[in-house]
Amino acid sequence: MKTADGALKASSYPKGKNGLSGKPGRDGSASASPGTAASLTCKDWFSLSAESAAHWRLSPAPEDGMAFVLRPRKEAAPKERYRIMVLFPKKSSAYDTAMETILSVFRDKNICAEFVGVNFFMKEEAGAAALRQAEADPCDLIFSMGSGSTDFVHKNHSAGKVPVVSVCAKDPVLLGQIRDYDTGSGNHMAFTSLNVPVALQMAYLRKLIPDLRNIAVIYARKNRSAVITQFRPLRDMAGRQGINVMEIVVEDRKNARAEIESKMPAALESVRKSGQEKNSLIWITGSTSVFREIETINRNAGVIPVLSAVPDVVTEGDNSAVLSIGVSFENNAYLAAIYAIRILREKAEAGDLRVGLVSPPDIAVNFKKAREIGLLIPFRFFELASYVYDHEGKKVRMKGQKVTDLAPQP
Contact 286, 310 (CB under 8 A): yes
Question: Is the sign of the CA dihedral 395, 396, 401, 402 positive or negative?
Answer: positive
Asked whether the domain spanning 198-326+361-402 has the same topology as the one spanning 10-192+329-346, the reply is yes
Report the pLDDT value the prediction gives residue 32, as an integer from 0 to 100.
Answer: 42
Q: Are 85 and 164 in contact (CB under 8 A)?
A: no
Helix (H) or strand (E) holding 99: helix 93-108
Asked if the model's pLDDT at residue 11 lies above 60, the reply is: no
pLDDT of residue 6 exceeding 50: no
| Alpha-carbon gap, residue 399 to 364, rounded angstroms | 10
Pick the CATH number of 10-192+329-346 from 3.40.50.2300, 3.30.1380.20, 3.40.800.10, 3.40.718.10: 3.40.50.2300
| 43-47, 89-93, 307-311: segment of lowest average pLDDT | 43-47
d(CA 267, CA 272): 10
186-234 tens-digit pLDDT:
999 999 999 999 999 999 999 999 999 999 999 999 999 999 999 999 9
Position 408 scores a pLDDT of 46
Lowest mean pLDDT among 27-31, 93-97, 150-154: 27-31
Contacts of 251 (CB under 8 A, 6+ apart): 221, 222, 259
What is d(CA 326, CA 358) in angstroms, rounded to the nearest whole number?
9
> Where do the structural domains in the chain lie, given as residue ranges?
10-192+329-346, 198-326+361-402
Question: Which is nearest to 388 in space by CA: 379, 396, 377, 376?
Answer: 396
Class of domain 198-326+361-402: alpha beta
Residue 88 pairs with which residues in a beta bridge? 119
Q: What angle do CA 147, 153, 155 make, to 5 degrees?
A: 105
